[in-house]
Structures are given as structure tokens and as C-alpha cells.
Structure 1
């Protein structure tokens, strides 16, 4: 956990509450945290869910791992400490989206369970939905859309998740998707069905 460095700062409560923002939106809000190996399909599933929810009039936004590293987190690499800080920052940003009444879909490998759990801890009950896009290493290596596994196996990339750096599977994900055998559309529909069944899509 990052210590508070700034002094003489005071938290200011908002006059407009999260409940009132959700009422205006017409639905609840939460973080949909997509996690899994590189190549599992996290970004593709998240963007498909985003499209499906947009069609239903649900307010959403996707935060993608690579995109965030090109802006907010451009000063972070892939060491264990940098990975932890990467997830801490995006967790705080995602919380702001949820507080604003928006569903935020985050697509990050986020390999360490403790980092994901820390984001869960800063959220209210039911506001952090862990979505494990479960694809085997063999499947991800076969897909290898960015050619990263090939480079990692050749020793050109060090500390690559699943090869020479660990991936810690979620212990109790709210949603586990079988990305080995099901299509992107099927996986996305499962996520939307979960939200609908649990009352997230109405105020």
C-alpha cells in the first residue's frame, strides 16, 4: 500500500452523492475487472461487453492496459513494484468512474492476487466484479496476437507473465469465463447476463 506523502490535505465530500448519480444514470455502477494471461481475450471481451451495454443505454468506459501505459502510467515498467503501482493507480481511477455512476471495464493482466484484492478493498460491497478470462497458457501461446510469447521464449522479453513471471489466478472471482472453448460473443453475453441477474442494470 502506498503511504500518503502529501500533508495538510483534507477529504471533501461531494454534495451530489453516488446514489443520486446512479439514479440519474438509471442503473447501478461498478468496476468490471477483467484479468487473465496475455492473449486470453480480456480487451476483446471487455470491448464487446462495452458495446452490448452501450446498446442497452448503460453508461460505460473501458480502461485498457496498453492504453493506460501510454498515458497515466507511461513512467512504469513491468517490475513487480511497477506492476503493483500500475494496478493501484488504475484502481483509484476506476473507483472515480464508479463513484460517478459509470460502469468501468478494466482489461489488465494484473497478475498478482494481492494487487487485485487491494482494489476490491477500496470499493463498496458489490462494486468490484472480478472477471477471470480463463485461457490456458497453451491457448494464449497459440494465439500470441502481439508475438510476445515468442519473444519471451526466445529470451528477448524478461519477466513475462506466464513464462518467467507468475500469474496468480483469482481465488473467488465473481465471473469465470472459459476462454479456451467459447467465442467472444458468448463470453460477453455471460458477463451481461450476470449483471442483469444481479440487478446492476437498473437503478
Structure 2
């Protein structure tokens, strides 16, 4: 009904402590948000297993391939096709898609500028964890603000963050409108919609810029692969 545990030194395998769970402390809920500044109380816990050791097991290093572009530009389709090809070649991958993330990790966020910034901050942190695990993480997010993308980039070492701008003109994206969002935005049913009533800040120096209107999907995947692996 309670439980017991021992503490073992992972380097020597020597038992250095033991204990028993006596009761649960009910005065402090496990997920209670703190309002005070607790940064001074938080210390980074270094793992004995390094990203390099994880990469050695997988046979390749982790990195982040960050797709950005307007809604309907083809980010998700292209990111999925890239993952399929990397998987076929034996690479360990994980795809983080904007819509999927908002079903779980970021379901508490709306579409205001502040919430979008927080959305991308969370995604950047998750992507860094995957990369440290030796996984090639692919993200597909509008991520309209340069400062948010720059903050995500700063989490990674040089060369480990590859920004891919899916440069599809607004007119083409609106013509495609796979989810009917542009039409709703034009009708005023959706506020803060990127490209209509909210800005999209075009990347100034992306590692890769692709044009989905003049090249096939396979051609674009091949183009990206040359700079990724």
C-alpha cells in the first residue's frame, strides 16, 4: 500500500540509500502553478548519457528541420514526405505538426500573438529534447514571427537547426485553402489569421527555400535531403 525504494550509484552500482513511502503530502498539489520566481531553485541536472552517446547508437546525430510558411503552402505535406524518405533510409525521425500539437501539448493556447509565441516556444523545447535523443525532428508550423523562430534556433548548436521556408504565394495558398480557413478569415469569422489580418514575417536567411508551385514534391524532397543528410 505504500512502497519502498533504494538509491543506486549508476557509476559504481553501489546501493547508497533506501527508503519507504510513508504517505502522500496533500498540502501541495503535484501540478500547482507557482507564481513566485523559482529560477534560483532550479538547477540543471546533467545526464551521464550524452547526446553524442545516443547518436552513436542510432548511427546519426539529432537535428531539427523547421518548416515554415503560410497556411496551405504545403508545409505538412512536404514535411511528411521528407520523413517517409528519411525513414526509408533508416534514419530515426519524429514529425511535429502544428495541428497535431494543438490537440495535446498546446491545446490550452489560442491564436493571439502571445499564445502563438508560447506555442512555438514549447515546440522548440520539445524539438531540442528529440534532437538530444539522436532523433531528426521535423516540424511543420506557420511560425509567422522571426523572433520566435530565432528563439527556437538558439536552442541548437550551429548546423543542427535547418530552417526550410516553403515559399508559396498567398494567392496560391488562398486558392488551395484545403481547410476553408482563408474563406472564413475573409468573412471575419476567424481573427488573427496569418496572411489576412495577421502578418507573416518571411525568413531572411533560411537554410533552404523551396517553391511548391514550380517543382514536384519529389524534387523538393530531393533538394532538402541534399542539405540534411
Task: Give the TM bin, normalised by the shorter chain.
Answer: over 0.9
The secondary structure found in structure 1 opposite 2:41 is coil
1:155 deviation in Å?
A: 1.0
Please give the secondary structure, in 1, of the residue aligned with 2:42.
coil
Greater fraction helix: 1
How many Å apart are 1:154 and its aligned residue? 1.1
Match of 1:22 in 2: 55
State the match for 1:43 in structure 2.
Answer: 76
CA 1:86–1:191: 2 relative to 1, 3 Å: same
Which stretches in structure 1 are left out of the alignment for 5+ residues? 197-203
Give per-residue Cα distances to partners, 1:120-165, cap 9 Å, x unaligned: 1111111110010110001101110000001111111111000010
Task: Name 1:61's counterpart in structure 2.
Answer: 94
Call closer, same or farther: CA 1:56–1:171 in 2, change over 3 Å.
same
CA distance in 1, matches of 2:174, 2:37: 40
- State how many pairs are aligned: 194
Residue equivalent to 1:191: 224
Please report the RMSD computed on the Cα atoms of aligned residues, expressed in angstroms.
1.3
Provide TM-score, normalisation by structure 1: 0.92
Q: Distance in 1 between matches of 2:77 and 2:37?
A: 36
Point out 4+ residue stretches in structure 1 off by more than 6 angstroms.
Answer: none
The separation in 2 between residues aligned to 1:179 and 1:68, in whole angstroms, is 24
1:134-145 counterparts in 2 under 5 A? Answer: 134-145=167-178
* Ranges in structure 2 where 5+ consecutive residues have no aligned partner: 1-35
| Aligned counterparts of 2:205 and 2:114: Cα–Cα separation in 1 | 24
Q: For 1:130 and 1:62, locate their aligned partners in 2 and report how far apart those are by CA, in whole Å.
A: 15
Give the whole-Å Cα distance in 2 for the aligned partners of 1:146 and 1:36. Answer: 16
